[in-house]
């Protein structure tokens, strides 16, 4: 299929490809916007005969934040917290009011064929190294940066636009949502790459944005945007991207007692506490695509949902990835032997694991509860040499009075995010 370049993305800001800290986004952002109006009203209501008051000297200058590359950026927005590291990984994602995390590790996977050979970049928890992504560019860290609108007012900042930091159509830096963490991702050069990480995508350049919106309808959602640039002189063919997640809902059940399900009509991968009765209060961790370059995906850009579990209980040898080709097979919904997954409820091959209904017990149900992992993928598509494509996704935590209520809350959150993403996120950068 054809490839969109960065310059064509006029609705969301174009790309110009040339220690630890915590930030908490205030819910009162709209109140700040009212201050100038309130000031004008106060001035207009004053006595015209009153002389101006001497402020007693110049006000103290406002100290604007600098742009600092963190080892690990601990990012908080409204109800959620997640850590973003220099290997392209989201770790320890959780609710701010709970010490136990729901995400152990999550990341983007990308793989494809270049000159007839398979290549892949991944971050996972199945072997060493865990990642062949890195934010080090020529030995210097380009992120992760915690960025807010206050940074935009600092005229002294040298923005990493040459490394893909997002800009508007006037070439000015932007902040997605109300606050974000941004990183430049490249292939790691500071570690030995072997096995599935041994043959990364040539010329890979990714701008990774993790951001949130202080909106009551989206306070349980984090947005994940990956602007993927092919910096090589070769075409990337049959490209797939995947959302890999190792979720641990240990705060509502015993560790390792989770299950995964795939909500096919909405394109959502969900981890839930598999040891709880259906009629008890539930929490669910979920991922969904908002958009990908894939044109032919039948289920909200999803072309496969691959089930994974810990190495002691592996189903398809998923903890024993040894080649980039096996990574591609996984994103295509195949086993590590390149064979179809078999739905145990039908005995037939399928691209969508555990897409049954746990409430009714029909279809493929993840059983027994265990330490689960999942991979939801989209593809294939092509990225031309010097071309750019965008993958836009979300992670969320939802709760309900019972299993059905939590499932409905997940679906409602995804629907709202898909509906409101432009108005609340993209539209603010214009």
The DSSP secondary structure of 310-336, one letter per residue, reads -GGG-SSSGGG--SHHHHHHHHTTB-T
Residue 81 above 90 pLDDT?
yes
pLDDT for residue 207: 98
Characterize 108-138 residue by residue with b for buried, 16 or more Cβ atoms within 10 angstroms of its Cβ, and e for exposed: bbbbbbbeeebbbbbbbbbbebbbbbbbbbe
416 burial via Cβ count (<10 Å: 0-12, 13-18, 19+): middle
pLDDT above 70 for 2 = no
pLDDT for the residue numbered 62: 66
Which has the higher per-residue pLDDT, 183 or 423? 183
297 vs 266, residue with greater confidence:
266
Two structure tokens written together for 306: 């691959």
Instruction: Work out the percent of the chain whose per-residue pLDDT is above 70.
Output: 81
- Contact, 66 vs 147, CB < 8 A? no
Per DSSP, the chain holds a count of helices (H) and strands (E) of 4, 22
Predicted model pTM: 0.85
327 vs 26: which has the higher pLDDT = 327
pLDDT score recorded for residue 234: 98
The reported pLDDT for the residue numbered 6 is: 34
Is pLDDT at 178 greater than 70 in this prediction?
Answer: yes
Contact 94, 103 (CB under 8 A): yes
What would the pLDDT profile of 247-281 be if each residue is shown by its tens digit? 888 666 666 689 999 999 999 999 999 888 999 99
pLDDT at 420: 83
Is the pLDDT at 73 greater than 60? The verdict is: yes
Give residue-wise pLDDT tens across range 90-144: 999 998 887 778 899 999 999 999 999 999 999 988 777 789 999 999 999 999 9
Query: Over 60: is that where the pLDDT of 370 sits?
Result: yes
Q: What is the mean pLDDT of the chain?
A: 84
Residue 37 has pLDDT above 50, yes or no: no
In this prediction, residues 339-347 reach a mean pLDDT of 96
pLDDT for the residue 18: 34
More confident residue, 124 or 328: 328
* Residues 6 or more apart in contact with residue 37 via CB below 8 angstroms: none
pLDDT the model gives residue 108: 98
Binned at pLDDT 50, 70 and 90, residue 287 comes out as very high
Of 191 and 77, the structure prediction assigns the larger pLDDT to 191
Question: In the predicted model, is pLDDT for residue 209 greater than 60?
Answer: yes
Q: In this structure, are residues 247 and 91 in contact, taking their beta carbons and an 8 Å threshold?
A: no
pLDDT at 352 over 50: yes
């Amino acid at each position: 299929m054809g490839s969109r370049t960065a310059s064509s993305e006029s609705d969301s800001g174009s790309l110009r490809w040339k220690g630890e800290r915590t930030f908490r986004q205030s819910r009162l952002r709209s109140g700040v916007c009212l201050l100038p109006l309130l000031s004008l009203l106060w001035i207009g209501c004053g006595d015209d005969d009153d002389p101006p008051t001497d402020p007693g000297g110049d006000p103290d200058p406002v100290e604007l934040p600098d742009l600092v590359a963190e080892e690990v950026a601990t990012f908080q927005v409204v109800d959620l917290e997640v850590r973003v590291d220099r290997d392209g990984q989201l770790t320890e994602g959780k609710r701010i009011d709970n010490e136990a995390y729901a995400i152990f590790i999550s990341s983007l996977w990308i793989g494809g064929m270049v000159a007839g050979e398979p290549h892949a970049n991944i971050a996972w928890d199945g072997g060493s190294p865990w990642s062949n992504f890195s934010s080090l560019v020529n030995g210097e860290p380009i992120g992760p940066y915690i960025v807010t609108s206050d940074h935009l007012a600092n005229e002294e900042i040298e923005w990493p636009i040459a490394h893909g930091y997002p800009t508007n159509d006037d070439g000015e830096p932007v902040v997605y949502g109300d606050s974000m963490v941004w990183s430049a991702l490249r292939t790691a050069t500071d570690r030995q790459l072997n096995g599935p990480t041994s043959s990364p995508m040539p010329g890979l350049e990714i701008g990774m944005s993790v951001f949130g919106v202080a909106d009551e309808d989206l306070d349980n959602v984090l947005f994940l945007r990956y602007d993927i640039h092919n910096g090589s002189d070769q075409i990337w063919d049959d490209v797939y991207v995947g959302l890999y997640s190792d979720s641990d809902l240990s705060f509502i059940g015993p560790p390792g007692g989770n299950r995964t399900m795939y909500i096919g009509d909405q394109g959502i991968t969900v981890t839930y506490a598999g040891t709880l009765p259906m009629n008890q209060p539930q929490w669910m961790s979920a991922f969904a695509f908002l958009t990908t370059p894939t044109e032919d995906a039948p289920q909200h850009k999803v072309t496969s949902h691959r089930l994974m579990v810990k190495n002691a209980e592996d189903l398809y040898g998923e903890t024993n990835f040894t080649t980039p080709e096996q990574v591609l097979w996984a994103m295509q919904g195949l086993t590590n032997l390149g064979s179809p997954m078999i739905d145990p409820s039908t005995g037939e091959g399928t691209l969508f694991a555990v897409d049954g209904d746990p409430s009714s017990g029909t279809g493929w149900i993840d059983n027994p509860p265990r330490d689960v992992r999942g991979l939801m993928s989209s593809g294939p598509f092509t990225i031309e040499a010097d071309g750019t494509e965008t993958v836009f996704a979300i992670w969320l935590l939802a709760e309900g009075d019972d299993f059905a209520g939590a499932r409905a809350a997940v679906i409602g959150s995804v629907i709202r995010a898909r509906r409101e993403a432009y108005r609340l996120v993209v539209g603010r950068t214009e």
